[in-house]
Every structure is written in C-alpha cells, then in structure tokens.
C-alpha cells in the first residue's frame, strides 16, 4: 500500500476488511452493532477539542476525526452491501444539501447576518422534510438519542414555534425557583417519584433558559464538570 492515501484508498481499505477473506470482526459489524461506536467517537472528538485548548496539540483531534470518518465509511460500505446506497451517494447528497441550504452563496438570496442564514436554513429544511414517511411528528423528529440537555431546548423551541408560546423569562424563573424550593423541602420520607418530578421540572426550566440565551446546556455542564475535576484534583495535589 502507498504511504500517501487518498479518500478513495481509505474506502477500498474498509471494503477489503469487509470482504469474504477480510477481518472477522469487521465482517460481523452491522448498523446496529456500530451505534455505540459512533456515539463514543463523537464524544471523543468533542473531548479532543478540549485537549487541544489545554495542550495546544491537535494530534488527538486529527486522530478522532479519522475515527469518525471510519464510522461514516463503514456504515456506507455496509449500506452498499445491502443495496441501500453508496459512499458516493452520501457525498453527493450532502454536497447538494450544502448548496441548496446556502442560496445566499450559490444562488441569489440575501443573508447578511448569521440570524438570516439560520432562518433560511430552517425554511429550506422544513420544505425538505415535507412528505418524509419516517417523520412521525414534528416533536418526534428531534432524535431521542440526543443527550437530554441537548434535546430539551430543541423540543421547547419547536413547541414555542408550533404549539404554544413559550413562558416568559419571569415565568421560567418562577418555575425554576418553585422546583428548587420543592426539592429543598424533600426529606428522606419523600417518594422518589415526587423528587424526580421536581427535578425534571427544574431541568426543563434550565433547558428553557438555555434555549432563550442560546447557550449549549450540555456543553456548559460538561465544561463545569471538567472544572470541578480540575478543582478537586488540584486540591489533592496541594
């Protein structure tokens, strides 16, 4: 094999691993069996961004992007074996999507701000989704596999847009304070289900605040956890 690989070479490598005389482990994989791998690799890439900021080294970031690419190509090769689609189809479709969703670059539309770009994007995306049989409902369109602190603001945003006006900033703050007071009042004799209810209400209120402020709640919590670890491990080193 060459010491300088192209994307096409990488696809051929995965196809060889999946061939009848290929790797037993790779040949056994399916879309379902690889689901945990995709989630883990995505999380590891997000972690690599933090590592880059902390260390200044992009080595881990480059490696994790390669692992995500491996997942994309593996799923595409499996899909081709099943007669569903090919890697070429995936590249073609995402290229067309990027051109279609950027009419201010590849067409005649105007979008001078990020807000206008996102508004156009949402309108185009809505038209693309019309008539898609796999979309059970507008709210179910938001994947249940997303982390809850990521999914929550998306669900609340769509509820605000399609069903009912979101609570005001003051109403949201009141709900959060009410949930916090109820949680504070819970004792050992309080039923677990009741504690879970108030905790859920508090988390939903926090999701609404994150949505309003356009703050990525999941990322904020991840960063705060990392800060906590650094604080505690720093205390132990003293």
Answer whether residue 15 shows pLDDT above 90.
yes
Q: 49 or 136: whose pLDDT is higher?
A: 49
pLDDT of residue 2: 60
Residue 148 CA to residue 128 CA, distance in Å, equals: 26
pLDDT of residue 170: 94
pLDDT of residue 235: 61
Give, as one character, the DSSP assignment of residue 84. S
Residue 28 CA to residue 37 CA, distance in Å, equals: 14
CATH classification number, 1-85, choose in 1.10.30.50, 3.40.50.1100, 1.10.10.350, 1.10.287.1080: 1.10.287.1080
Confidence of residue 138 (pLDDT cuts 50, 70, 90): confident
Q: Does the pTM of the predicted model rise above 0.95?
A: no
pLDDT in tens, 32-59: 999 999 999 999 999 999 899 989 999 9
Confidence of residue 130 (pLDDT cuts 50, 70, 90): confident
Q: Which CATH architecture has domain 137-238?
A: Orthogonal Bundle (1.10)
Going by C-alpha positions, the residue among 199, 204, 226 that lies closest to residue 49 is 226
Helix (H) or strand (E) holding 175: helix 169-185
Domain with CATH 1.10.287.1080 in the chain: 1-85, 137-238
């Amino acid at each position: 094999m060459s010491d300088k690989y192209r994307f096409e070479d990488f696809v051929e490598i995965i196809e060889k691993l999946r061939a009848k005389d290929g790797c037993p482990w790779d040949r056994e994989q399916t879309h379902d069996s690889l689901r945990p791998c995709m989630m883990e690799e995505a999380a590891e890439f997000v972690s690599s961004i933090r590592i880059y900021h902390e260390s200044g080294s992009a080595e881990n970031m480059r490696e994790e992007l390669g692992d995500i690419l491996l997942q994309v190509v593996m799923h595409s090769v499996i899909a081709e074996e099943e007669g569903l689609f090919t890697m070429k189809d995936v590249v073609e479709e995402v290229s067309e999507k990027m051109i279609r969703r950027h009419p201010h670059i590849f067409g005649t539309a105007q979008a001078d701000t990020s807000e206008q770009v996102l508004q156009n994007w949402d309108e185009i995306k809505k038209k693309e989704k019309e008539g898609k049989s796999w979309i059970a409902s507008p709210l179910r369109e938001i994947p249940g596999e997303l982390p809850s602190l990521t999914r929550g603001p998306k669900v609340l945003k769509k509820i605000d847009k399609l069903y009912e006006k979101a609570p005001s900033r003051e109403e949201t703050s009141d709900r959060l304070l009410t949930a916090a007071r109820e949680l504070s009042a819970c004792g050992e004799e309080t039923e677990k289900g009741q504690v879970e209810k108030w905790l859920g209400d508090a988390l939903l209120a926090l999701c609404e605040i994150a949505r309003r402020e356009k703050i990525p709640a999941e990322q904020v919590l991840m960063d705060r956890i990392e800060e906590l670890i650094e604080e505690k491990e720093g205390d132990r080193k003293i």
